[in-house]
Amino acid sequence: MKIREIFNKKTVFSFEIFPPKKTSSIQTIYNTLEELKGLSPDFISVTFSAGGSGNGGLACEIASKIKDEYGITPMIHLPCINYTKEEITSTIEEIKSRGIENILALRGDKNPDIEPKNDFSHASDLISFIKEKGDFDIAGACYPECHFEAESMVEDIRNLKIKVEAGADHLISQLFFDNEAFFKFREMAEIAGINVPIEAGIMPVVNKNQIERMVTMCGASLPNKFVKMMQKYENNPQALRDAGIAYAVNQIVDLVASGVDGIHLYTMNNAYVARKISEAVSGVIGAEREA
């Protein structure tokens, strides 16, 4: 199923997972999927190496299993900055051969140790390229608090519109902890004429190292109530985990009540956390779907 069709029917609820490290068994992710499948997400996205490390085949294998063995719609991430047109074409052909219809088109993070290829400079270039290769559902990424390389939010929204005009069917946001930032971004996107569905990316924070790492990477701002939570429970792992789950649940309830198109949960391959959040919001999202 193409994901764009799901947005026409309901508030979408989806998960992101990532392949295991080369030092870990692939069975670890299948164990996670065994637990996630019972939560009935609308789709599961699978990340793909942005740094040219070559885990694309593994990502395709996992996405195939999500579809064929778990009966869940998969989406595969496809970064482009460190790949040639020939390499991207080969990956698209493999995706197509496995019956996968959904791609998240990304520029990918720049790796200081790898010289970027020159075939794709922006995600919009990749989106146009994918459109030429087959009838895929194409998602794009967006940044509620501005991409760190953009000079301003206005420039970032302008670039986002180029991405949508290139053929992105819907968007998935970078993680954020302040819903007001998302609402402001959504309003700016609407004013700019961006009218595709936008899923809100939510990452439950369950340990201090995770939040420090993610904020450094994506630049998400931290509301005062979030900082207080971190400070109070940073030395109590179980309490911080439970507080992080509760914070994510409150974010989701507020977003759904405000008419969000969907929620994309960054699971970090943590089935326990994904299950707790899914159980807590199932009635809220279910009620919204029936409205």
**C-alpha 217, offset from chain centre:** 15
Phi, psi (deg, nearest 5) at residue 42: -70, -30
* 16 catalytic per annotation: yes
- How many Å apart are CA 56 and CA 172, to the nearest integer? 21
**What stretches of the chain show up as alpha helix (H) in DSSP?**
3-7, 27-36, 56-68, 85-97, 123-133, 153-166, 179-191, 208-218, 224-233, 237-257, 271-290
Encoded tokens for 153: 């939010």
CA 219, 150, 159, 182 torsion: positive or negative? Answer: positive
Phi, psi (deg, nearest 5) at residue 286: -60, -40
Q: Could you say which of 16, 101, 145, 199 is catalytic?
A: 16
CA atoms within 13 A on the CB side of 66: 33
Is the Cβ–Cβ distance between 17 and 29 less than 8 Å? Answer: yes
With residue 198 as reference, give the H or E element that holds it: strand 198-202
Which residues are identified as catalytic? Answer: 16
